[in-house]
Amino acid sequence: MQLHALPTLQPPIPTTSEKALDFLLSEGVTWGDSSQWLTKPPAKSVDLFFTSPPYADQRAYSRIHPDRYVEWFLPFARAMYDATKDSGSLVINIKNRVAKDGPLRGQRHPYVFQLVIALQNMGWRWIEEYIWQKPNAIPGKFGPRTKDAFEHVFHFARGAKPHFDLNAVRVPYRTTPEEIERRKLDTNGRRTTKAGFGRDRVSTYRHGGADPGNVIAVSQTYNQHRGVAHTAPMPEGLAEFFVKAMSPVGGVVIDPFAGGGTTAVVARRHGRRAGGLELHEEFAVEARRRIAADEAHDTPGSLAGAS
């Protein structure tokens, strides 16, 4: 893949919606403002918006007060809704935080949950909440609480039947091949407990892998020391899970807050048509370098799941 140098000025937005989408997909990660670009792709043209937007009041490059976060994000959400296919999804990785000031100072600020409610009111269907568990989370002092070892990942859909391929993200069973084959032959696989619940192990084992559940363990990776890499890197394994499960092969995947380009790299690697937008030129340059090198991160993340 050839790496094209970014212009010294942000590229102009194409005049037609089809050309705008083609430009985003061809560039990989475009240096540009999502608030201007997201209204340009054709209606119902995107299979998956997967993104980790700036967290509230978190990074030096983006200071959004949690009290104003929902108001700030909703125009992006509206533009993405209009551009999403009826079978398409929006997946947002976002982190809670402790309020630094105001009446909630020292408490967890509810902006994450306020955003979920606001998106539902807009028309997005809240399908699921995933927990990104970070086994190697950075220790920190946050008052009378333990370190942050997880982040939220919210799955929203435009329509009632979003694309979802569970088989694409199944994890290997934690048992021997002989036990798997034995259970496939079990003609009475359902076991009902005293509580009245049961499951059919026969059908479960015939899928060839276990349902990973909605708690996803992916280690953080750190690449701040490499070139102009992003200061809030996303591990490859996290993007891979949602790209594979929530977009079809050949589908369109867009990250409107692309950062270092992990979403685009991973999506292209798995046969999707992918692009992104990044407001900061140095991050866009780095993302394009990584796309050209097919490099999603310094140390690939891996999924962990229970059988």
Which string of DSSP letters, residue by residue, matches 204-238? HHHTSSB---SEEE------TTSTT--SSPPPHHH
Could you identify the residue written with the tokens 């359902």? 190
* Residue 263: predicted pLDDT: 95
Separation CA 68–CA 57 (nearest Å): 10
pLDDT of residue 8: 58
What does the alpha-carbon distance between residue 14 and residue 11 come to, in Å, rounded to a whole number?
Answer: 9
- Weakly modelled stretches of the chain, pLDDT under 50: 1-6, 61, 224-228, 230, 297-307
Give the pLDDT score at 197: 55
Name residue 217's beta-bridge partners: 133, 304
pLDDT score, position 300: 41
Other beta carbons within 10 angstroms of residue 192's beta carbon come to: 9
Contact predicate 286/262, CB 8 Å: no
- Look-up: residue for tokens 């998956």? 48
The two three-digit tokens of residue 236, written as one number:
């490859």
pTM for the whole structure: 0.85
